[in-house]
Amino acid sequence: MAKATARHILVNNEKLARKLKKEIIKNEITFEKAAKKFSKCPSKKSGGNLGTFSKGEMVKEFDSIVFKEDLHRVHGPIKTEFGFHLIEILARY
C-alpha cells in the first residue's frame, strides 16, 4: 500500500490560506512557523507534520494531492470538511 509523509496548515478561510502560501513561497515565513502560528490542527505543535500515513487514511481531497502531486512544494488551498489546507508532501513510498 502506498504511504506518504506530509505536513499541512489548516485554516478556516481560503483568503488566509492564499496569503500564507504566498508568504511561504517568498520565504517571508517558514512552513513550520506558519503552521505553529495559524493552523487549527493539533499538528501545529510539530510544525504541521502529520508523519507517515497510508493512502485512504486521510480525506479524499487530501489524498488526491498527497499521492499525485510534486514533492517539496506547497499545494493548496485544498478545501475539505475541516477547512482549507496547505500541504507539503515530504516523501512517498
For the chain, domains (ranges, CATH) are: 3-92 (3.10.50.40)
Beta-bridged to residue 85, according to DSSP, are 10, 78
Query: pLDDT tens digit string along 50-62?
Result: 999 999 999 999 9
Count of other CB atoms within 10 angstroms of residue 81: 6
Q: 90 exposed, middle or buried (CB, 10 Å; 0-12, 13-18, 19+)? A: middle
* Per-residue pLDDT at 1 exceeds 90: no
Within 8 A by CB and 6+ apart from 55, the residues are 1, 2, 3, 4, 63, 67
Q: 52 exposed, middle or buried (CB, 10 Å; 0-12, 13-18, 19+)? A: middle
Q: What pTM was estimated for this model as a whole?
A: 0.95
Query: pLDDT tens digit string along 35-86?
Result: 999 999 999 999 999 999 999 999 999 999 999 999 999 999 999 999 999 9
Which of the four pLDDT bands, split at 50, 70 and 90, describes residue 4? very high
